[in-house]
Amino acid sequence: MSSRSEQRGGSGATCGARSMGLRGAACVVADSALREHPLVRELGIPTAEQGADGAFLLGEHEQALDLRPPGEHDRRGIQARFPPDANPPENRSSGAGRNPLVRAFGKKPIEEILDLTAGLGGDAYRLAHAGHRVRAFERDAAVYAVLISGWERARNRGSIPPAVALRLSFSHGDGADQIASLDGMNIGIYLDPMYPSPRHRSAKPRRELQVLRALLGGQGDAANLVERACEKAARVVVKRPHHADPIVSGASFEIETKLLRFDVYVNPMRMKASPGE
Ligand SMILES: C[S@@+](CC[C@H](N)C(=O)[O-])C[C@H]1O[C@@H](n2cnc3c(N)ncnc32)[C@H](O)[C@@H]1O
């Protein structure tokens, strides 16, 4: 686990915008029963007896942390669940497969993938399951707490294939810092930034996404992240809603599904040819 902790708004009753470039972010308090929880302590998440007005509530359900929006403390909270899919995507050894995210990283060797917007870890898991080594980073302390406690629960229950557990790690930190210190060849970067809800939509997004959106709001620093990633990585994959503009123009190609698009940016300067090429 990373040693970085965000500073949060003092006592549980204080809600306001937070640091680290988040726009419109709300505040989170942990249930007072979690006062001694290692993640709550390490991440400096304040606790409150009855929650706090206007605050998201971090609680615990079935041995993992969950997060509930203000006013919805009676509903189930969101949790990180692993494996995230009933039918996992194909293994990389059987070709890039049909999963569009796995296809977006292609067949050419990628040493490792940095998922710099880990969220609840589903996409990082899918990539690791497909055979990639993945290091995933989440900068929001509450989201990270939910993510890592769900991951630890799944590992303790033996729900994760050992090879996948070896290939995948989660840390608390800002993806921008990872890009700054990146120097290798054949590195892939995956970005799935938050985007505002479209005005007209036919289907409601999953509850997890609704809650993350309510907590984090739109995040205005995504373009900067994509531009910097494109300078340092051999391949950058950016998830976008189907009809949204690219965050940065000039994608090498796109992979589209009914609801989503993956914009793929290839940088030959950051590729090392594999033997025989
Ligand atoms: C849409 S969610 C990602 C969902 C994820 N792909 C999944 O499978 O669950 C976006 C997440 O990226 C995180 N994030 C955005 N910018 C970040 C950055 N610069 N560094 C680390 N995390 C970031 C947000 O806090 C949020 O949790």
Q: What is the pLDDT of residue 203?
A: 66
Tokens coding 108: 């050419």
Write down the pLDDT at residue 63: 97
Going 150 to 221 to 129 to 181, the CA torsion angle's sign is negative
Task: Note down pLDDT in tens along the chain; length 277 residues.
Answer: 443 333 333 333 335 434 333 344 579 999 999 999 999 999 999 998 765 778 999 999 999 999 999 988 788 899 999 999 987 655 544 444 579 999 999 987 899 999 999 999 999 999 999 999 999 999 999 999 999 999 999 999 999 999 999 999 999 999 999 999 999 999 999 999 998 776 666 667 789 999 999 999 877 899 999 999 999 999 999 999 988 999 999 999 999 998 899 999 999 999 987 665 5
Provide the residue ranges of all domains of the chain, joining segments of one domain with +.
92-270
CA 134/CA 131 separation, integer angstroms: 9
CATH number for the region 92-270 comes to 3.40.50.150
pLDDT at 51: 59
Pair of tokens at residue 203? 């289907």
Give me the pLDDT at residue 10, please: 32
3-state secondary structure (DSSP) of residue 105: coil
> Residue 25: what pLDDT?
53
Do the beta carbons of residue 45 and residue 8 sit within 8 Å? Answer: yes
Instruction: Find the 47 Cα to ligand 1 centroid distance in Å.
Output: 24
249: β partners: none
The strand pairing partners of 265, in sequence order, are: 236
Atom of ligand 1 nearest to the CA of 84: 8
pLDDT at 220: 84
Q: Which residue, judged by its Cα, is nearest atom 5 of ligand 1?
A: 119
For ligand 1, mutation pick of 139, 179, 247 (most atoms within 8 Å of CB): 139
Question: Token pair of 237, please?
Answer: 């994959």
Using CA atoms, how far apart are residues 222 and 197, in angstroms rounded to an integer? 16
Q: Measured from the CA of 191, which atom of ligand 1 is nearest?
A: 6
C-alpha dihedral over 55, 56, 57, 60, to 10 degrees? -170
Q: From the alpha carbon of 193, which atom of ligand 1 is closest?
A: 10
The protein residue with its alpha carbon nearest to ligand 1, atom 26, reads 119
Entry pTM:
0.89
Rounded to the nearest whole angstrom, what is the distance from the C-alpha of residue 144 to the centroid of ligand 1? 10
Residue nearest to atom 4 of ligand 1 (CA): 119
Give the orientation angle of helix 207-216 with respect to helix 141-156, to 10 degrees: 150
CB under 6 Å to ligand 1: residues?
116-117, 119-123, 137-140, 143, 174-176, 192-194, 212, 216, 219, 225
Q: Whose CA is nearest to atom 23 of ligand 1?
A: 117
Distance 238 CA to ligand 1 centre (A): 12
Query: b/e per residue, 1-34, with b = 16+ CB within 10 A?
Result: eeebebebbeebeebeebebebeebbbbbbbeeb
pLDDT at residue 108, rounded to an integer? 79
User: What residues contact residue 110 under an 8 Å CB cut-off, 6+ apart?
Assistant: 132, 186, 187, 188, 234, 235
Distances (CA, A) of 82 to 15, 123, 236: 31, 11, 25
Give the nearest ligand 1 atom to 190 CA. Answer: 6
